[in-house]
Chain A
Amino acid sequence: QQQVKQSPQSLIVQKGGIPIINCAYENTAFDYFPWYQQFPGKGPALLIAIRPDVSEKKEGRFTISFNKSAKQFSLHIMDSQPGDSATYFCAAQTGANNLFFGTGTRLTVIP
């Protein structure tokens, strides 16, 4: 059973657009929600993370919105650039234990 559900599977936006990637979870014991960016042939790189006591976190052009009651969280990329083209994974974690990953979203930003 997929612990973290992610959508869409793929996304194409124009340069400057704001892609939004959504994730949902069921396990209310999760207390840490990171997003990872992965380029082909590379390992996932930690992008931004949020804890459930915060509804929004912004770092540079990346923003996480978190809805604890709906058990959903999303990643917004402001002013997207072709260099943002990558696969994005949401994840969830309980304490300092293992990560449960979503299935990934392949983002393409067209110049």
Chain B
Amino acid sequence: ETGVTQSPTHLIKTRGQQVTLRCSSQSGHNTVSWYQQALGQGPQFIFQYYREEENGRGNFPPRFSGLQFPNYSSELNVNALELDDSALYLCASSLGSGRSYEQYFGPGTRLTVT
């Protein structure tokens, strides 16, 4: 069974640029959730995708957007990067649809905005 994978591992961007982060869900999982973890803090929910549809969103501005593909992999896009966007971005996959609550996290992408 393949776990959750994310790419890239690290990324450095300049303020105002755009970034795309990628996530492959665990085999058999159809739900992907994205979280932002600032240094020394707990992860904060950005949004969730279930069967290619957004299925809930946290308190993040519209410049944070996402996609889920037919194979259930997912992308997180952030436009107009700000310094405060520097964080570890985590994706988590789960079975969704009320069948199982467990969310399994990938290793994360460390984004630094300068």
Which residue numbers of A lie inside 8 Å of B, CB to CB? 6, 32, 34, 36, 41-46, 49, 89, 91, 93, 95-104
Q: Is B66 in contact with chain A by the CB < 8 A criterion?
A: no
With beta carbons under 8 angstroms apart, the residue of A44, A89, A96 that contacts B101 is A96
Q: What's the least CB distance linking A88 to chain B, in Å? A: 10
**Chain B residues near A97 (CB, 8 Å)?**
48, 55-56
**Chain A residues near B103 (CB, 8 Å)?**
34, 46, 93, 99
B98-A96 in contact (CB<8A):
yes
Task: Say whether, besides A43-B107, A46-B102, A46-B104, A99 and B31 are in contact (CB < 8 Å).
Answer: no
Which residue numbers of B lie inside 8 Å of A, CB to CB? 4, 31, 33, 35, 40-45, 48, 55-56, 58, 90, 92, 94-108, 110
Task: Say whether, besides A43-B107, A98-B33, A49 and B102 are in contact (CB < 8 Å).
Answer: yes
B58-A98 in contact (CB<8A):
yes
**Chain A residues near B99 (CB, 8 Å)?**
96
